């Protein structure tokens, strides 16, 4: 498993196929032939070898996501930003050299991605990034106790999501067993827990009768689980209803449509690509 945590710790995976649909406005990663020089004090403009879209992003105050063109650990961040109605840019890591450069430039605190440029900071560690975004956009409960509940729920979701994220990387011989494990955990541990929470208060949202990151992360998780295990939500009516409700929120609805920045699942080709980027056998 260490190999895979290296893979995920050091980066996500790269989906280097053609863009999933025309009209996706994600800028391609490019480098200028010569670095520009910036005026002193332009702290935020360190990415001086990126093209104009990066400058625009910074000047417009849009967060910029640094990751592979794929889901991995960045997808939860994309979901949250999208649900919060926050426009963001993406800079894709396409080669091992791209990742090296970020590291050598000292932009990755622990040498790992995801990394998100936001509000003058270069944030790493998925949880730290999500916590920041959620707090900033009032999706983290109204007080400490609501936050504790949200944290408890989302940590459970993260545990299951982790299994799902890593699933494609297992060698073929292990996949069946891993899938059975994911199914077992989903249907016996996690989905029942969240169904019970919704049942206990009968409200439209998991915490505090108000939309929070917990709802966003859960709906993302439901979609992910359904991709792997079709029909898995069948015996969880309240989860189904939550999924429908959240999917119909305008920002989420938009994100779920083709042409958004939502990424497709990994496929064998993109897995090969990812291994190349990580220089893995």
Residues 111-170 that bind other proteins (CB under 8 A): 111, 119, 121, 123-125, 127-129, 131-132, 135-136, 144-145, 147-149, 151-153, 155-156, 159
Number of residues that bind other proteins (CB under 8 A): 31
Q: Cβ closer to other proteins: 34 or 200?
A: 200
Q: What angle do CA 24, 164, 65 make, to 5 degrees?
A: 35
In the complex, minimum distance from the CB of residue 184 to other proteins, in angstroms, rounded to a whole number = 12
44 binds other proteins (CB under 8 A): no
Q: Cβ closer to other proteins: 133 or 277?
A: 133
Residue 91, H or E segment? strand 89-92
Contact range with other proteins by CB under 8 A, out of 74-82, 85-93, 106-114, 163-171: 106-114
Per-residue burial over 19-56, b = 16 or more CB atoms within 10 Å of its CB, e = otherwise: eeeeeeeebebeeeeeeeeeeeeeebeebeebeebbbe
Q: Cβ closer to other proteins: 37 or 200?
A: 200
DSSP state of 37: -
Pick from 56, 61, 110, 264 the residue near other proteins by CB under 8 A: 110
Determine phi and psi for 131, rounding to 5 degrees. -60, -45
Closest by CA to 203, choosing from 238, 244, 155, 246, is: 238
DSSP state of 86: -
In the complex, minimum distance from the CB of residue 137 to other proteins, in angstroms, rounded to a whole number = 11
Pick from 59, 109, 234, 280 the residue near other proteins by CB under 8 A: 109
**Cis amide leading into 243 (omega within 30):** no
Closest by CA to 194, choosing from 227, 213, 217, 218, is: 218
The binding site for other proteins (CB under 8 A) comprises 2, 9, 109-111, 119, 121, 123-125, 127-129, 131-132, 135-136, 144-145, 147-149, 151-153, 155-156, 159, 189-190, 193
């Amino acid at each position: 498993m260490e190999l895979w945590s290296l893979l995920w710790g050091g980066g996500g995976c790269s989906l280097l196929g053609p863009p999933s649909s025309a009209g996706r406005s994600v800028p391609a990663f490019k480098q200028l032939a010569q670095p520009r020089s910036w005026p002193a004090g332009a702290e935020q403009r360190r990415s001086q070898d990126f093209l104009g879209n990066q400058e625009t992003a910074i000047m417009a105050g849009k967060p910029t996501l640094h990751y592979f063109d794929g889901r991995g650990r960045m997808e939860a961040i994309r979901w949250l930003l999208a649900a919060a109605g926050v426009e963001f840019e993406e800079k894709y890591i396409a080669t091992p050299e791209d990742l090296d450069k970020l590291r050598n430039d000292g932009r990755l605190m622990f040498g790992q991605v995801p990394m998100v440029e936001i509000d003058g900071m270069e944030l790493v560690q998925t949880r730290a990034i999500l916590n920041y975004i959620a707090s900033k956009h009032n999706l983290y409960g109204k007080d400490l106790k609501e936050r504790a509940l949200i944290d408890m729920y989302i940590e459970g979701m993260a545990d299951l999501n982790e299994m799902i994220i890593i699933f494609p990387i297992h060698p073929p011989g292990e996949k069946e067993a891993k899938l059975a494990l994911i199914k077992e955990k989903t249907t016996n541990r996690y989905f029942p827990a969240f169904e019970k929470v919704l049942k206990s208060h009968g409200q439209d949202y998991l915490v505090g009768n108000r939309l929070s990151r917990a709802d966003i992360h859960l709906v993302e998780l439901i979609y992910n689980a359904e991709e792997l295990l079709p029909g898995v939500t069948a015996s969880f009516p309240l989860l189904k209803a939550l999924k429908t409700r959240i999917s119909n929120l305008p920002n989420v609805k938009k994100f779920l449509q083709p042409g958004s920045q939502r990424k497709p699942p990994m496929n064998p080709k993109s897995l090969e690509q990812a291994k190349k980027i990580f220089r893995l056998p």
